[in-house]
Amino acid sequence: MTPTGLYDPAFEHDACGVAFVATMTGQPSHEIVQHALTALTNLEHRGASGSEPDSGDGAGILIQIPDTLFRAVVGFDLPAHGEYAVGTAFLPSDAGEAQVAVKAIETIATEEGLTVLGWRDLPTDDSMVGITARSTMPAFRQVFLTGPNGDDELHLERLAFIVRKRAEREAGVYFPSLSTRTIVYKGMLTTGQLEPFFPDLSDPLHLDAGYGALPVLDQHLPLVAVGAPLPPDRSQR
């Protein structure tokens, strides 16, 4: 295509692959996660990889918090669903640097009036991941936060957002999400690597991962969203 009048093909926009899965029954089920992972695999043509086919440019899944799973695997008590926030921190791979970052995040949380309930080392399996992706892989740890007694969910959600943004700016730690409602599992992966890389996604206790309120719709519908990004070029900026 060639420029014509006000039209210039340089400004065409392509999109990453996105899928959305929901059930009309309102009943939580691990089946929702399985359907979403299938949808993600079917989006492989929207992702990309270079000469190293086992290093993808990124894939992820957003689900509602799997409260049943977390209660079964963490070594500390959790308050009622909706009264705690959780997110995965992408920490430095160096243990010493990671500990410094953890302390910085805990300090930020305290300054915002939140209590750190504990940390969980997120299980991963990088055996199928390419050298390039593995060389840049962070340490994955999930932090659980709660507010003062009686703190409503919306207020806690706002405070968690502040902690997330401050952690990125002040501690240099990226959180794909930090929320009372949803959690994101993502990485420099191909679409087919996401589930085996994060064993959480295959756990049958993920039965309530699709139950809760979707913030942008404000509806209590079990749901899941997945994505597979395309590599950026001028038309995607």
| Residues involved in catalysis | 16
CA 220 to chain centre: 20
Query: Counting every residue, how long is the chain?
Result: 237
Distance between start and end Cα atoms, the chain: 19
Alpha helices in the chain (DSSP H): 30-41, 67-73, 95-111, 131-135, 153-166, 194-197
Measured CA angle at 60 (ends 59, 65), to 5 deg: 170
Round to whole Å and give the CA distance between 168 and 128: 29
Alpha-carbon gap, residue 28 to 198, rounded angstroms: 20
Strands 17-22, 59-64: pairing kind = unpaired
Q: Which of 81, 105, 107, 78 is nearest to 91 (CA)?
A: 105
How many whole angstroms separate alpha carbon 183 and alpha carbon 60? Answer: 11
Q: Residue 187: CA atoms inside 13 Å, Cβ hemisphere, count?
A: 31
